[in-house]
Amino acid sequence: MFANLTALITILVIVLFTAFRILREYERGVVFTLGRFDKVKGPGLIIIIPGIQKMVRVDLRTVVMDVPSQDVISRDNVSVKVNAVVYFRVVDPQKSIIQVENFLSATSQFAQTTLRSVLGKHELDEMLAEREKLNLDIQKALDVQTDAWGIKVSNVEIKHVDIDESMIRAIARQAEAERERRAKVIHAEGELQASHKLMQAAQTLSRQNGAMQLRYLQTLTSIASDKSNTIIFPVSMDLMSTLTNVLKMQNRRGPDEAGSADEPGGPDATDETTLGSSRMEETATDQANSSA
């Protein structure tokens, strides 16, 4: 009799011990009574009737899930490998247990398919330059589907975009060509602005006759400071035309002076006559002195 009572007390203690459950602040318990959903309990101390009720623990903390690397073909037919990370948490413990068998596995699989489908709609340049936009698109697509499971996807981040080596070289050549194009455009814009400034300077210098000469002298001074032995001095076309006119006038005066010298009554003939008369007078004087 005493043994039976002891066994009964032991069984009651074990039953009472198993009936008490303690849930942490971040945990909830989904209670089923005879297989049917009863309520969500917790946190703290809760009582479960052994054999009649069953409880499933659900963690409400944010889960960080790594999405494995996925082979994605972009819209411009470039094959890349992309992996990402998904941040989500359970907001409705009832749905996360009743609506889906394993919400962790389901979310992981759906994240992989969504990553491939969303990135396949974009080109490679968009994957590399517009990650924030792609992250938002993937997050929205995941959140719409997982909302029925009582899961809230808070954020999605694309971690790596692995590209083939040949494609990396092609992108490098494209970037180099783009930089060269920008350099040429900037150089052309600089030449255009410089031409306008030079035109204004030429108009200002043309208002004074000596302004251009002073500019020439200043240029010569700056060139002379160099150690080079060759100096190129610019000469204006106006000065060249003036020198040409002077040379033409001298060429015209030369034949006129030669013609006046050949005439009989010209200055050269008079000089020769005077010289002949002087010689005759000297000869007559010498003969008179010898007779005496």
Distance CA 28, CA 43 (A): 6
- Tokens 């190129």, located at residue: 232
pLDDT for 252 beyond 90: no
pLDDT in tens, 88-117: 999 999 999 999 999 999 999 999 999 999
Please tell me the predicted confidence (pLDDT) of residue 271: 47
Please tell me the predicted confidence (pLDDT) of residue 290: 45
CB-based contacts of 76, cutoff 8 Å, min separation 6: 123, 124
Extents of the domains making up the chain: 2-59, 63-163, 164-224
**Contact of 134 with 127, CB cutoff 8 Å:** yes
In the chain, % of residues over pLDDT 90: 40
pTM above 0.75, yes or no: no
Q: What share of the chain is helix, strand, coil (3-state, %, to 5)?
A: 60, 20, 20
Please tell me the predicted confidence (pLDDT) of residue 289: 46
Lowest mean pLDDT among 119-123, 162-166, 211-215, 243-247: 211-215
- The strands making up 27-33's β-sheet, listed across from edge to edge, are 36-41, 27-33, 53-59
Lowest mean pLDDT among 104-108, 220-224, 263-267: 263-267
Distance CA 100, CA 219 (A): 87
CATH architecture of 63-163: 2-Layer Sandwich (3.30)
- Tokens 């060759």, located at residue: 230
Pairing label, strands 63-73, 79-90 = antiparallel
**235-242 mean pLDDT:** 69
Helix axes 131-146, 103-119, angle to 10 degrees: 140
Please tell me the predicted confidence (pLDDT) of residue 239: 65
Please tell me the predicted confidence (pLDDT) of residue 149: 93
